A and B are shown apart, each in its own frame.
Chain A
Amino acid sequence: GAGVSQSPSNKVTEKGKDVELRCDPISGHTALYWYRQSLGQGLEFLIYFQGNSAPDKSGLPSDRFSAERTGGSVSTLTIQRTQQEDSAVYLCASSLDRFINEKLFFGSGTQLSVL
């Protein structure tokens, strides 16, 4: 596709369940980022991938959060034992490379609601 694709667009889950959020970056983009945005707030950095490795995962809020990237393309963010405070929009972005001149292209996000 032409842009960053995220699925699902909406996810409602019960507290304690695990969820997986998927990101398809723009083809050829080596850098991939996950952010989350709580209602009415700014974006909070979660993790960054360069290729399949994650040199910066300092933003993951707890060990319930993990992410992987395979084939230098698709990435999955997994949240185990979801809590109500995990409710937010999870945004994925990709860029051609990690250099500071590169633009980030964002997907439309996954709205996660934990009941």
Chain B
Amino acid sequence: DAKTTQPNSMESNEEEPVHLPCNHSTISGTDYIHWYRQLPSQGPEYVIHGLTSNVNNRMASLAIAEDRKSSTLILHRATLRDAAVYYCILMRTSGSRLTFGEGTQLTVNP
């Protein structure tokens, strides 16, 4: 599976935007970029995914670099409930699983 690299931790203040980076320099042309988050004592929760174009949904935006070697998850206004571990994952077209890395622990300060 292609590897992703994320910072171990990030901090933000409530109601400010948060940009969570992910590097995936070995991404192949048909790999999808998925983001999940895991709140304390819960299973992971889907956030967003994309292939080449930037994507928006009610939870977040996903900005994908033109060369697809990196992406950024954007939370437009962080809330305390956004404090979680955020996972950036590549999903192969031939694959049958999502391989989770260590993720980024996001702390949101009031």
Contact = CB atoms under 8 A, between A and B. Distances in A.
A66 B90 CA distance: 27
A33 B91 CA distance: 14
A103 B87 contact: no
Chain B: number of interface residues, binned into ranges = 20 to 34
- Determine the main DSSP class of B at the interface with A: loop
A52 interface: no
A40 to B, nearest CB: 9
Interface residues of A, number: 26
B96 A56 contact: yes
Interface in A18-65: 31, 33, 35, 41-45, 48, 50, 55-56, 59
Given A42-B87, A43-B44, A104 B102 contact: no
Interface string B79-102: 000000001000111011111111
